[in-house]
C-alpha cells in the first residue's frame, strides 16, 4: 500500500499536467480531469496489470475511457507510465499530434478505444468483458484472467445507452467488468441537479450490479473499493465516486474555483491558472514537470509489473506446450487475419429472400469460425441470424460456451458492445436487425469506421416492398 501523502502528490501532478495541457492548447476541459485524477492514479499505480514492454499482450487488463473530453487526465497518467513524453502532451489538441482532444485508439500508447459521443466508451468495455468470458470458456483461465475497467461521467450515465448496457451487463453477470462513475455533479452548461435527480446506485442495483459508493477523491477509499470489486464473483461492479470538479482550482482572487461550471470546458486562464498550479504544488513557469517521487512511484510499479507478467508469461508458455491446438488457435484469433472458410458445400437456391441466403452463410461460418460471435436485437428469427444461432446457443449468466449474444431491443448497445468485443481482440463479431433500425446504430457505425474495427452489420428488410408493415418500417 502506497503512502496517502504520496498518492495525493501523484494525483496533484496529474492535475497540474492536465491544466497545463489545456492552458497551452488554449482549449479543452480541465475540471473533470482534475476531479478524476485520484481514481486513475490509484488504478494505474496499484491495480492495472499490463506488460510495460508488450503493450498488445492479450492478457493485459484493459481501461476504457467513456468521457473523451477528460483526455488530459488519461494522457497525464500515461505520461507517468512513460507511454507519452512531455513533448507529446505539450502538443495536446494540435494538428497531427498523438494527443488529440479526444483520445483515439492507440495501443502502443495505452489507449484501448477512441472516445466518441458520451455513453459509447463504457459499452465497448462491456463488450470487451463479454469477449474475455467467451475466450476464457474456450482457452481457459491461464490466458484469460484479466479485468476490464471503465470510466464514466455524469453525461455518460445520462445517455440512454447506459440503461441498455446496465441491463445487459447485469443480466450476464459480467463480474470481470469494473466501472468507476465520476460523479462530480457538474456538466457543461448546468449543474447535474437541473436535469437528473434519480438514485443512480439504486438503478444499477436493480440491474444486478454490485454498487459501491465512496469519496472519489480519497485514495484509501478508492483502493478499498477496487480491492472489493476485484473479489466480486457474480456481478459487474459500479464504483460511484463523489468527486470535486476542478479539485484544487483557485480563481484569480485566490478563492475556490472548485465545483464551477466554468471549469468544465475552458482553460482556467490567467491568474486562476497560475494560482491553481501553485496551490497544487507546481511551478507556473515549468508546469510540465513530473515530480521525482511521483515518477518513482510509477517506475516502481513498472518493475513490479515486469515480475507479475513474467510469471504470467511463464504460465502461458507451459499452457501452450500442454495445449498446442488451443495455443495455435489463440495465435490465429489474435492475429486479426481473416478466417479461412470453405464455401464449396454451400449451394444457394435461386429466388430466395436475401436474409435466407445470409442465414445459410452464417450457418457455414458457425461451423468453421470458432471465434465468431453473432448478435441480434430481438430479431434473430426474422433477420435470420438464427442461421448462426441454430448451430450454437446464446450466452447466459455463467455460461459463455455458446457464441450468440441476445441483445434484446437495444440496437445501439448491441453495436457498441460488438465493437468492444473486437477491440478486446481474439473475436470476430456480426450483428443483425432491420435496416430501418440501423438509424439507432449510426453513432456506433461511425466510431467503428474511425477505429477501423471490422464488425459486420447484417441489415434485413431493406427494400421498399416491406409495405405491409407500413411506412415506419420502410427504409
Which DSSP category does 202 fall into? H
pLDDT at 464 over 80: no
CA distances from 433 to 231, 347, 430 (A): 37, 25, 11
The cell for 275 is 494560482
Q: How far apart, in whole angstroms, are the C-alpha atoms of residue 158 and residue 134?
A: 29
pLDDT tens digits along 281-319: 999 999 999 999 999 999 999 999 999 999 999 999 999
Please, what is the average pLDDT of the chain?
A: 97
Q: In what order do the strands lie in the sheet with 372-376?
A: 404-406, 372-376, 428-434, 456-460
Mean pLDDT, range 124-151, rounded to an integer:
98
User: Given the C-alpha cell 490509484, which residue does it identify?
Assistant: 42
Q: How far apart, in whole angstroms, are the C-alpha atoms of residue 65 and residue 122?
A: 7
Q: Taking a C-beta distance cutoff of 8 angstroms, is the pair 418, 455 a contact?
A: yes
For residue 449, the model assigns a pLDDT of 98
pLDDT at 92 over 90: yes
For residue 474, the model assigns a pLDDT of 81
pTM of the model: 0.98
Q: How far apart, in whole angstroms, are the C-alpha atoms of residue 234 and residue 173?
A: 5
Residue-range domain boundaries for the chain: 4-305, 354-473
User: Given the C-alpha cell 472548485, which residue does it identify?
Assistant: 258
Which of 191, 285, 411, 474 is catalytic? The answer is 411
Question: Can you count the helices (H) and strands (E) in the chain?
Answer: 16, 9
User: Given the C-alpha cell 446504430, which residue does it identify?
Assistant: 441
CA distances from 347 to 128, 350, 351, 358, 360 (A): 35, 10, 13, 12, 9
Mean pLDDT, range 30-58, rounded to an integer:
98
pLDDT at 234 over 80: yes
For residue 48, the model assigns a pLDDT of 98
Task: Label the pairing between strands 456-460 and 404-406.
Answer: unpaired
pLDDT tens digits along 421-442: 999 999 999 999 999 999 999 9
pLDDT at 444 over 90: yes
pLDDT tens digits along 182-207: 999 999 999 999 999 999 999 999 99
Q: Up-side HSE of residue 18: CA atoms within 13 Å toward CB?
A: 36
Q: Which of 57, 59, 240, 61 is nearest to 140 (CA)?
A: 59
Fold observed for domain 4-305: Rossmann fold (3.40.50)
Residue 332 annotated to the active site: no
Under the banding of pLDDT at 50, 70 and 90, the label for residue 468 is: confident
Mean pLDDT, range 346-365, rounded to an integer:
95
Tell me whether the CATH fold assigned to 4-305 matches the one assigned to 354-473: yes
Q: Taking a C-beta distance cutoff of 8 angstroms, is the pair 131, 62 a contact?
A: no
For residue 466, the model assigns a pLDDT of 77
For residue 373, the model assigns a pLDDT of 98
Cα separation of the two ends of the chain: 58
pLDDT at 213 over 80: yes
Q: How far apart, in whole angstroms, are the C-alpha atoms of residue 88 and residue 109?
A: 11
The cell for 65 is 475511457
pLDDT tens digits along 378-424: 999 999 999 999 999 999 999 999 999 999 999 999 999 999 999 99
Where b means 16+ CB within 10 Å and e means fewer, 258-274 reads bbbbbbbbbbbeeebbb
pLDDT tens digits along 256-276: 999 999 999 999 999 999 999
Domain 354-473 in CATH 3.40.50.970 = yes
Q: How far apart, in whole angstroms, are the C-alpha atoms of residue 206 and residue 277?
A: 42
Amino acid at each position: 500500500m502506497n503512502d496517502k501523502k504520496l498518492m495525493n502528490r501523484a494525483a496533484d501532478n496529474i492535475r497540474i499536467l492536465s491544466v497545463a495541457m489545456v492552458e497551452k492548447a488554449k482549449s479543452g476541459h480541465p475540471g473533470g480531469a482534475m476531479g478524476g485524477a485520484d481514481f486513475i492514479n490509484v488504478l494505474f499505480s496499484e491495480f492495472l496489470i499490463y506488460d510495460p514492454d508488450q503493450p498488445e499482450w492479450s492478457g493485459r487488463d484493459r481501461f476504457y475511457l467513456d468521457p473523451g473530453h477528460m483526455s488530459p487526465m488519461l494522457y497525464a497518467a500515461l505520461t507517468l507510465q512513460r507511454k507519452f513524453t512531455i513533448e507529446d502532451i505539450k502538443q495536446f489538441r494540435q494538428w497531427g499530434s498523438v494527443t488529440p482532444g479526444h483520445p483515439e485508439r492507440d495501443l502502443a500508447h495505452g489507449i484501448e478505444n477512441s472516445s466518441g459521443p458520451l455513453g459509447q466508451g463504457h459499452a465497448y468495455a462491456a463488450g470487451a468483458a463479454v469477449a474475455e468470458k467467451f475466450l476464457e470458456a474456450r482457452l481457459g483461465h491461464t490466458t484469460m484472467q484479466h479485468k476490464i475497467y471503465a470510466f464514466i461521467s455524469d453525461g455518460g450515465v445520462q445517455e440512454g445507452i447506459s440503461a441498455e448496457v446496465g441491463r445487459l451487463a447485469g443480466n450476464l453477470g459480467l463480474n470481470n467488468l469494473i466501472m468507476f462513475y465520476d460523479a462530480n455533479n457538474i456538466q457543461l452548461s448546468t449543474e447535474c441537479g437541473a436535469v437528473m435527480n434519480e438514485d443512480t446506485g439504486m438503478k444499477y442495483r436493480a440491474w444486478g450490479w454490485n454498487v459501491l459508493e465512496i469519496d472519489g477523491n480519497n485514495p484509501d477509499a478508492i483502493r478499498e473499493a477496487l480491492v472489493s470489486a476485484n473479489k466480486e464473483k457474480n456481478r459487474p461492479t459500479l464504483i460511484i465516486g463523489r468527486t470535486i470538479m476542478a479539485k484544487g482550482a483557485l480563481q484569480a482572487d485566490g478563492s475556490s474555483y472548485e465545483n464551477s461550471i466554468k471549469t468544465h470546458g475552458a482553460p482556467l486562464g490567467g491568474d486562476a491558472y497560475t494560482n491553481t498550479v501553485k496551490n497544487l504544488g507546481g511551478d507556473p513557469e515549468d508546469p510540465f514537470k513530473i515530480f521525482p517521487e511521483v515518477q518513482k512511484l510509477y517506475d516502481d510499479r513498472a518493475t513490479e509489473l515486469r515480475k507479475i507478467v513474467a510469471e504470467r508469461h511463464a504460465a502461458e508458455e507451459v499452457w501452450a506446450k500442454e495445449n498446442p491446438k488451443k495455443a495455435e488457435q489463440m495465435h490465429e484469433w489474435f492475429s486479426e487475419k481473416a478466417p479461412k472458410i470453405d464455401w464449396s458445400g454451400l449451394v444457394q437456391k435461386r429466388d430466395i429472400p436475401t436474409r435466407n441466403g445470409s442465414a445459410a452463410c452464417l450457418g457455414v461460418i458457425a461451423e468453421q469460425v470458432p471465434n465468431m460471435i453473432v448478435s441480434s436485437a430481438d430479431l434473430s428469427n426474422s433477420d435470420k441470424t438464427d442461421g448462426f444461432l441454430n448451430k450454437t446457443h446464446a450466452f447466459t449468466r455463467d455460461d459463455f460456451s455458446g457464441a450468440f449474444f441476445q441483445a434484446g431491443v437495444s440496437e445501439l448497445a448491441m453495436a457498441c458492445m460488438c465493437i468492444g468485443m473486437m477491440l478486446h481482440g481474439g473475436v470476430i463479431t456480426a450483428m443483425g436487425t432491420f435496416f430501418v433500425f440501423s438509424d439507432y446504430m449510426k453513432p456506433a457505425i461511425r466510431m467503428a469506421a474511425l477505429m477501423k474495427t471490422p464488425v459486420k452489420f447484417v441489415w434485413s428488410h431493406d427494400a421498399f416492398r416491406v409495405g405491409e408493415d407500413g411506412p415506419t418500417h420502410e427504409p
